[in-house]
Structure 1
Amino acid sequence: MEINGVEIKDNYAEAFEIKATRLLVTAATKKLAKIAATEATGYGTSVIGCPAEAGIDCYMPPSETPDGRPGYVIMICNSSKKKLDHELLERIGMCILTAPTTAVFDMLDDADDKFKTGFKLKFFGDGYEEKLDIDGRTIHSIPIMSGDFLVESEFGWKKAVAGGNFFIMAKTKMEGLVAAEVAVDAIANVKGAITPFPGGMVASGSKVGCNSYDFLDASTNEKMCVTLKEKVAETEIREDVDGVFEIVIDGVDEAAVREAMKQGIAAACTVAGVIEINAGNFGGNLGAYKIQLQDLF
């Protein structure tokens, strides 16, 4: 199968279940909202080593937010409900409450259950906190130096899907980089999906386990390393490919991940120099979701 002359491999991305929250961070200006959202989603690329997977989902204009101010929707994910509860409390408390003029609202409509995050944070008000109703939401108003910090009392979480992915294989590194950036921009338009790695792009694709060292749970994916294609017998990189980038996607459900993969791949295939689109999987040993690349189109 080909799209714009780019080969779409007969392969699948192996995704797995994760638990996710989806929240809206608003502020007095779009710039301040973006700063707070970025801080709250930091150190959140992969649960292999990070305490959560996190990223910015989409921008929401003032006309669509509960408090009539600009905001960004973010997602925070973890495989453990207990750890996700902790991460939500820490990231809102340390990264958003501390940011100028912010407020935080729950944005998950179909939650499996809820965390009492805002209820816990209200005690920072030392007895001066107040309870408000904004757009039918229970909000805690916490006095801080710059005014009042507003946080919804409860935040929903649900079973979601992590690890959707595809590899962009290009003639050169720069052509692959351009294609990856174009793909990430396209995915940004899919609500309910995030690309948690830096700039949405993965430079260091990994595999489960390690061939040489038994103390590592994950290590470099040597079959997809451009500098090893002449050293590794099982390399999956063509001779004419010198640029490889992976895009990893988390979503509120499988449909969101599939749509993000579809839009990202289609966008990447418009860039000159892109030769092939592939995907990463672990032979069915990691996750229950097997998203066939060719079935997306």
Structure 2
Amino acid sequence: MEINGVEIKDTYAEGFGIKVTRILVTAATEELAKIAATEATGYGTSVIGCPAEAGIDCFVPAEHTPDGRPGYAIMICQGGKKALDHELMERIGMCVLTAPTTAAFNLLESEDTLKTGNKLKFFGDGFEKECFIDGRKVHSIPIMSGDFLVESEFGYKDGVAGGNFFILAKDQMTGVKAAQAAVEAISKIESVITPFPGGMVASGSKVGSNKYSKFLNASTNEKMCVTLKDEVESDIRADADGVFEIVIDGVDEESVRSAMKSGIEAACAVDGVLEISAGNFDGKLGAYIINLHELF
């Protein structure tokens, strides 16, 4: 199978289950909202080593927010409820509450909720108040710059992490260009994030280690390293010298599939892209099998 002359390998991406929450961060200006959203999603590339996978989902214009101010939707993902609860407290409490003019609202309707705002209200030291905005129970916490508003509860659900595809290009910078095009296309789809830096994964990994298994639970995927093509049983074609991975987390499998499709199509429109593949672990990591050919 080919798209614009780019070979689409007959393989699959292997995703796994994860707990997902979706939060709206608003502020007096779009710039201030983006600053807070960026801080709140930092150090969130992979649960292999980070405390969560996190990223900015999309911009939300003022006419579609509860308080009539511009905002950004962000997603935070973790393996379990307890860990996700901790991450919301840390990231909203230390990165959003501390940012100028911000507020935080729930964006994921679910019967399962975390009482993040109800806990954060105690920062008000008895001066906090309860109010309702757009039918939402909100806590107003006095801070130096005014009042910080935070919704009482945030919904969470079972989502999908680890949707992915590899871009194999003729050289490194062509691969970067294609990966950026893919991330830009995916950014237009709601309810998904590409959590790695700039949405691009430069250091694809495998489960465990061939040499240091006693202390490493993940290590470099040597079969996809361009500088090791002549040293190992490589999965990289001879004419490819730029390889990047795009990893996608979403609220459900359908969203991840849609993002993968859009990202692959965008990457294949870049001259010099040779092949699209995907990462899997022979079904040992996760329950979600997303075949590349089936996306089209």
TM-score range, shorter chain: over 0.9
Deviations 1:139-176 (A, max 9, x none): 00000000000000000010000000000000010101
How many residues of Structure 1 are paired with residues of Structure 2 in the alignment? 295
Provide the residue aligned with 1:202 in structure 2: 201
Matches within 5 A, 1:97-108: 97-108=97-108
Question: How much does 1:61 deviate?
Answer: 0.5
Provide the residue aligned with 1:268 in structure 2: 267
Q: Are residue 59 (structure 1) and residue 65 (structure 2) matched?
A: no
CA distance in 2, matches of 1:51, 1:213: 23
TM-score (norm. length: structure 1): 0.99
8 Å contact kept, 1:118–1:153? yes
CA distance in 2, matches of 1:169, 1:65: 40
What SS class does the counterpart of residue 236 from structure 1 fall into? Answer: coil
What SS class does the counterpart of residue 42 from structure 1 fall into? Answer: coil
Runs of 4+ in 1 over 6 A off after TM superposition: none
Deviations 1:261-292 (A, max 9, x none): 00000000000000000000000000000000
Provide the residue aligned with 2:95 in structure 1: 95
What SS class does the counterpart of residue 185 from structure 1 fall into? Answer: helix
Percent of aligned pairs with the same residue?
Answer: 73
CA distance in 2, matches of 1:140, 1:292: 45
Question: How much does 1:70 deviate?
Answer: 0.5
Q: Are residue 165 (structure 1) and residue 164 (structure 2) matched?
A: yes
Provide the residue aligned with 1:284 in structure 2: 283
Q: Which amino acid is 2:256 matched to?
A: V
Provide the residue aligned with 1:46 in structure 2: 46
Provide the residue aligned with 2:17 in structure 1: 17
Q: Are residue 224 (structure 1) and residue 224 (structure 2) matched?
A: yes
Q: Which amino acid is 1:218 matched to?
A: A
Provide the residue aligned with 2:153 in structure 1: 154
Question: How much does 1:100 deviate?
Answer: 0.2
What SS class does the counterpart of residue 260 from structure 2 fall into? Answer: helix
CA distance in 1, matches of 2:173, 2:219: 25
What SS class does the counterpart of residue 142 from structure 1 fall into? Answer: strand
CA distance in 1, matches of 2:143, 2:105: 18
5+ unaligned residues in a row in structure 2: which ranges?
A: none
CA distance in 1, matches of 2:173, 2:53: 27
What SS class does the counterpart of residue 25 from structure 2 fall into? Answer: strand
Q: Are residue 259 (structure 1) and residue 249 (structure 2) matched?
A: no
Q: Which amino acid is 1:240 matched to?
A: D
What SS class does the counterpart of residue 47 from structure 1 fall into? Answer: coil
Provide the residue aligned with 1:116 in structure 2: 115
Question: How much does 1:112 deviate?
Answer: 4.5
Question: How much does 1:80 deviate?
Answer: 1.4
Provide the residue aligned with 1:68 in structure 2: 68
